[in-house]
């Protein structure tokens, strides 16, 4: 077996030249939000053209960059779009080529799983299939050298797929990648509703709740979910959108999402890992604010002043700012007068460049908070401004409300809750007014439109941390007047 499978969609789904391809992927990775989460053992990522799904794929691929030098084998599973297959198909080639070079096939691993009745060698599904190919350049950039077990998944049960993945699971040297897009060709709102159902099924490790119309790669996804549940993996949603959010119109969209699956370790080991991750985010974000906090505050203030004159946020070009500020980030902008809240709007999750998020949320805090009238010029003289930069949200596992309350860290945790289709968020700074966990949760429930004593088995919560930078009312005088 000496043949090499040549790229089928280079120049179409992604750039066909090595230099441009590498630069494109590096740009997507640089724009992905920084995460304090552990490195994943398995991931789910989309496989559309990079212009549509590249940012979503990069959001989870950036999390495996620390595994370069550790991961030497990738088990890559994706759906068959053009050829009917019973079970799972391996190719007969010795390598897969991309513009960045050849990726060798792990022949020993392939021979091992060929002992399973649901696995066969069948080249036809691989010849023109893009669901595996589009992931290889990302893997080459973030991992460097590795070998590949490429599996085109056709008509198979979740149990059959799970058995194959389990056979390949190995240790830290192996990464599992499952390729899928979500709903296809619905209008924007319908896609969001259906994809949210799929997202929740993945978060709950519930393969039975993913139907035929929800994901083209539902079969390998179901297999991974089944195995992840049996192995006790924890899953987190990394990114979630559709082509209407990236590069397409909203009348006919395709959904995309990325998820990370992390192995649990013993309690005594898990706590230091978590603390280390949070410390990393806190230190990195504090350094960002130490270096650029004053510039972000001036940007927020300028956007508010621009809004007073032009009734829209200050238009900016992210490329005009340092690379650190061009990365996707989530922030809240808070306005206070005389110590009392005057507006607070933000982004729970990173969706755009941090500078863009600051400019837009500053404008919205001044003119889009439904609790307050629009800000007026004469209020600037005593208006204080603060920006909170948020970490990635981490789900909290609990057995009931008392368990949830016992896990909260007053003064540290920001919190998101969700139940009965209602959702609300408190920043860590809210602990200054609501120092007791029970009051904190009770007021957060009220914010979500739930009663203070509400509870159900479907109640969910996520924690995050934040770092804040502040400016008093003197910042308004420091800005040039709008007439200059």
- The enclosing domain of 451 has a CATH number of 3.30.1490.150
The confidence band for 269, taking pLDDT boundaries of 50, 70 and 90, is: very low
The answer as to whether 483 is a domain residue is no
Task: Give the CATH number of the domain where residue 60 resides.
Answer: 3.40.830.10
The answer as to whether 91 is a domain residue is yes
Per residue in 416-459, pLDDT tens? 999 988 999 999 999 999 999 999 999 999 999 999 999 998 89
Give the pLDDT of residue 220: 98
Q: Are residues 277 and 229 in the same domain?
A: no
Give the pLDDT of residue 198: 95
Q: 479 pLDDT exceeds 70?
A: no
Q: How many domains does the chain have?
A: 3
∠ CA 165-168-169 to the nearest 5 degrees? 80
Phi and psi dihedrals of 298, rounded to 5?
-65, -40
Q: Are residues 53 and 172 in the same domain?
A: yes
Q: What sections of 232-353 are H helices per DSSP?
A: 243-246, 267-310, 323-326
Distance CA 218, CA 207 (A): 8
116-125, 320-329, 352-361: lowest mean pLDDT where? 320-329
Q: Which residues contact 368 (CB under 8 A, 6 or more apart)?
A: 345
Give the pLDDT of residue 104: 97
Q: 336 pLDDT exceeds 50?
A: yes
The answer as to whether 257 is a domain residue is yes
Task: Report which of 90, 133, 131 is spatially closest to residue 108, judged by C-alpha positions.
Answer: 90
Distance CA 195, CA 215 (A): 9
Instruction: Tell me the β-bridge partners of 261.
Output: 42, 235
> What HEC string does 109-150 produce?
HHHHHCCCCCEEECCHHHHCCHHHHCHHHHHHHHHCCCEEEE
Answer with the one of 237, 264, 291 that is the final residue of a domain.
264
Give the pLDDT of residue 272: 35
The confidence band for 372, taking pLDDT boundaries of 50, 70 and 90, is: very high
> Mean pLDDT, to the nearest integer, of 458-475?
90
Answer with the one of 264, 291, 320 that is the final residue of a domain.
264
Give the pLDDT of residue 299: 96
Give the pLDDT of residue 274: 43
Domain containing residue 441: 392-464
Distance CA 456, CA 419 (A): 8
Per residue in 289-311, pLDDT tens? 888 999 999 999 999 999 999 99
Q: Contact at 8 Å (CB) between 52 and 184?
A: no
pTM over 0.75: no
The confidence band for 6, taking pLDDT boundaries of 50, 70 and 90, is: very high
Q: 277 pLDDT exceeds 70?
A: no
Q: Are residues 97 and 180 in the same domain?
A: yes
Task: Give the CATH number of the domain where residue 293 resides.
Answer: 3.30.700.20
The answer as to whether 351 is a domain residue is yes
Q: Determine the 3-state secondary structure of 295 from DSSP.
A: helix
The answer as to whether 291 is a domain residue is yes
Answer with the one of 231, 264, 297 that is the final residue of a domain.
264
Q: Contact at 8 Å (CB) between 220 and 181?
A: no
The answer as to whether 203 is a domain residue is yes
Task: Report which of 131, 147, 134 is spatially closest to residue 179, judged by C-alpha positions.
Answer: 131
To 10 degrees, what angle do helices 158-168 and 218-231 make? 60
Give the pLDDT of residue 439: 95
Q: Are residues 112 and 171 in the same domain?
A: yes
Q: Are residues 22 and 126 in the same domain?
A: yes
Neighbours of 312 (CB within 10 A): 12
Task: Report which of 346, 474, 463 is spatially closest to residue 395, judged by C-alpha positions.
Answer: 463
112-116, 200-204, 266-270: lowest mean pLDDT where? 266-270
Give the pLDDT of residue 125: 96
Q: Are residues 200 and 118 in the same domain?
A: yes
Residue 8's Cβ-side half-sphere holds a number of Cα atoms within 13 Å equal to 15
Q: Are residues 354 and 403 in the same domain?
A: no
Distance CA 261, CA 255 (A): 20
Q: In whole numbers, what is the pLDDT of the chain averaged over residues? A: 91
What counts of helices (H) and strands (E) characterise the chain?
Answer: 16, 21
Per residue in 8-34, pLDDT tens? 999 999 999 999 999 999 999 988 876
Q: Are residues 210 and 192 in the same domain?
A: yes
Q: Are residues 335 and 407 in the same domain?
A: no
Give the pLDDT of residue 2: 60
168-172, 185-189, 269-273, 317-321: lowest mean pLDDT where? 269-273
Q: Are residues 165 and 199 in the same domain?
A: yes
Q: Are residues 35 and 173 in the same domain?
A: yes
Q: Are residues 292 and 381 in the same domain?
A: yes
The answer as to whether 484 is a domain residue is no
The answer as to whether 356 is a domain residue is yes
């Amino acid at each position: 077996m000496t043949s090499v499978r040549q790229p089928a969609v280079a120049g179409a789904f992604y750039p066909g030249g090595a230099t441009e391809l590498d630069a494109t992927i590096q740009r997507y990775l640089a724009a992905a939000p920084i995460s304090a989460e552990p490195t994943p053992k398995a991931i789910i990522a989309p496989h559309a053209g990079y212009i549509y799904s590249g940012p979503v794929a990069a959001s989870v691929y950036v999390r495996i960059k620390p595994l370069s030098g550790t991961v030497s084998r990738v088990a890559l599973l994706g759906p068959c779009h053009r050829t009917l297959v019973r079970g799972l198909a391996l190719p007969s080639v010795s390598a897969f080529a991309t513009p960045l070079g050849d990726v060798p096939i792990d022949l020993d691993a392939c021979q091992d799983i060929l002992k399973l009745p649901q696995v066969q060698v069948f080249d036809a599904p691989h010849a023109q299939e893009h669901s595996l190919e589009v992931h290889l350049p990302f893997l080459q950039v973030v991992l460097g050298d590795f070998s590949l077990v490429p599996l085109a998944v056709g008509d198979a049960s979740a149990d059959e797929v799970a058995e194959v993945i389990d056979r390949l699971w190995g240790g830290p040297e192996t990464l599992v990648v499952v390729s899928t897009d979500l709903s296809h060709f619905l209008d924007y709102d319908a896609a969001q509703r259906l994809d949210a159902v799929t997202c929740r099924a993945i978060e709950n490790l519930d393969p039975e709740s993913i139907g035929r119309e929800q994901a083209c790669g539902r079969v390998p996804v179901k297999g991974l979910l089944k195995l992840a549940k049996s192995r006790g993996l924890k899953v987190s949603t990394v990114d979630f959108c559709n082509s209407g959010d990236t590069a397409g119109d909203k009348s006919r969209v395709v959904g995309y999402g990325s998820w990370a699956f992390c192995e649990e370790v013993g309690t005594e080991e898990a706590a230091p890992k978590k603390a280390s991750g949070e410390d990393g985010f806190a230190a990195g974000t504090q350094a960002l604010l130490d270096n650029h906090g004053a510039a972000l505050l001036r940007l927020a203030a300028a956007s508010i002043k621009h809004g007073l004159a032009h009734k829209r946020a200050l238009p900016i070009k992210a490329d005009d700012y340092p690379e650190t500020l061009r990365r996707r980030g989530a922030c809240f902008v808070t306005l206070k007068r005389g110590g009392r809240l005057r507006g607070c709007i933000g982004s729970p999750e990173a969706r755009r460049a941090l500078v863009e998020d600051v400019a837009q949320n500053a404008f919205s805090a001044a003119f889009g908070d439904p609790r307050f009238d629009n800000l007026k010029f004469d209020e600037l003289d005593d208006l204080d401004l603060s920006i909170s930069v948020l970490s990635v949200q981490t789900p909290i596992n609990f057995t009931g409300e008392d368990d949830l309350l016992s896990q909260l860290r007053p003064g540290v945790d920001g919190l998101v809750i969700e139940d009965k289709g209602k959702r609300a968020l408190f920043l860590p700074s809210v602990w200054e007014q609501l120092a007791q966990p029970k009051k904190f949760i009770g007021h957060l429930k009220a914010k979500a439109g739930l009663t203070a004593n509400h509870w159900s088995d479907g109640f969910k919560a996520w924690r995050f941390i934040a770092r804040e930078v502040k400016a008093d009312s003197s910042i308004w005088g420091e800005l040039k007047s709008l007439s200059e």
